[in-house]
């Protein structure tokens, strides 16, 4: 499997992402934001976490205009698989590849810690290695992780099984760290080829670092 990891000015998780996918046996390539095309033979594009363009204006709002994003949109619209992690999720919502928006945490503070997530839907390649209602432990690190979508959009997400993950405690009971609507931590598009989440599975690859629950999350892409 070949994975392209996007890099913008301010991105800080691209090499964590490269490490995670290499650990799973994938071939990886970092793609600078000024590139105008993606490699023809890739199987997955990852928009990595960080602070693209310093999060000026709005998180992900400037990155969506980078030259590489035109190629990412075309790739996604043709059925290519795209994963946005943290700032990458913000970029994908700004680019309208995913519905909704990410705004400032309800507490107005940056949050950085491990947090539990419950799997809501696994009828997709991203979470197919996990079961519905599984509770996993994955780091979060964000200032603008408060997912928002209006009531009509939320209903559509549930109708199409697009809500993938929710923030919970270790028992699966809702525990919302940032104010996200319905405690949503991750979603996908209707076609289930574009995925976005605020937590960092690429930082949960080894027990030594607190959790290896990210392994099963990312392994799904390798079974395509």
3-class state of residue 83 by DSSP: strand
Domain count, the chain: 1
CATH number at residue 190: 3.40.50.880
Show the CA angle centred on residue 184, arms to residues 122 and 112, nearest 5°: 110
Residue 202 among the catalytic residues: yes
pLDDT for residue 154 is more than 80: yes
pLDDT for 140: 98
**By C-alpha distance, which of 119, 47, 123, 49 is closest to 86?**
49
Residue 206, strand partner residues: 211
Mind listing the pLDDT tens digit for each residue in 31-86? 999 999 999 899 999 999 999 888 877 788 888 899 999 999 999 999 999 999 99
Which residues touch 114 (CB under 8 Å, ≥6 apart)?
137, 138, 139, 140, 210, 211
**Percent of the chain residues past pLDDT 90, beyond the cut:** 92
C-alpha 54/C-alpha 80 separation (Å) is: 28
Residue 35 among the catalytic residues: no
Structural domain boundaries, residue 172: 2-222
Which residues touch 155 (CB under 8 Å, ≥6 apart)?
none
Question: Could you say which of 33, 115, 142, 200 is catalytic?
Answer: 200
pLDDT for 159: 97
pLDDT for 224: 60
Mind listing the pLDDT tens digit for each residue in 67-77? 999 999 999 99
pLDDT for residue 182 is more than 70: yes
Q: Where are the alpha helices (DSSP H) in the chain?
A: 14-23, 67-77, 87-94, 151-159, 214-222
**By C-alpha distance, which of 79, 85, 214, 65 is closest to 141?**
85
Confidence of residue 92 (pLDDT cuts 50, 70, 90): very high
C-alpha 193/C-alpha 77 separation (Å) is: 9
pLDDT for 61: 87
Residue 200 among the catalytic residues: yes
Question: Could you say which of 13, 14, 142, 202 is catalytic?
Answer: 202
pLDDT for 24: 97
**Percent of the chain residues past pLDDT 70, beyond the cut:** 100
Average model confidence (pLDDT) for the chain? Answer: 96
Contact 217, 127 (CB under 8 A): yes
Mind listing the pLDDT tens digit for each residue in 10-27? 999 999 999 999 999 999
Question: Could you say which of 13, 14, 86, 94 is catalytic?
Answer: 86
**By C-alpha distance, which of 101, 43, 47 is closest to 69?**
47
Q: Which two tokens mark 15?
A: 């090499």
């Amino acid at each position: 499997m070949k994975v392209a990891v996007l890099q913008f000015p301010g991105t800080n998780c691209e090499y964590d992402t490269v490490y995670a996918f290499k650990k799973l046996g994938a071939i990886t390539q970092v793609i600078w934001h000024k590139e105008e095309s993606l490699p023809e033979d890739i199987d997955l594009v990852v928009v990595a976490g960080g602070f693209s363009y310093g999060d000026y204006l709005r998180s992900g709002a400037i990155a969506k205009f980078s030259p590489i994003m035109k190629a990412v949109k075309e790739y996604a619209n043709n059925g290519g698989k795209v994963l946005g992690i943290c700032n990458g999720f913000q970029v994908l919502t700004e680019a309208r590849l995913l519905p909704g928006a990410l705004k400032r945490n309800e507490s107005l503070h940056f949050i950085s810690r491990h947090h539990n997530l419950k799997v809501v839907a696994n009828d997709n390649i991203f979470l197919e290695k996990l079961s519905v209602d599984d509770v996993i432990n994955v780091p979060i690190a964000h200032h603008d992780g408060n997912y928002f979508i209006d009531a009509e959009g939320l209903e559509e997400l549930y109708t199409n099984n697009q809500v993938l993950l929710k923030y919970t405690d270790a028992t699966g009971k809702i525990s919302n760290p940032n104010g996200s609507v319905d405690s949503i931590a991750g979603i996908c598009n209707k076609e289930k080829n574009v995925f976005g989440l605020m937590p960092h599975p690429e930082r949960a690859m080894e027990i030594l670092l607190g959790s290896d629950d990210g392994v099963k999350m990312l392994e799904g892409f390798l079974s395509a």
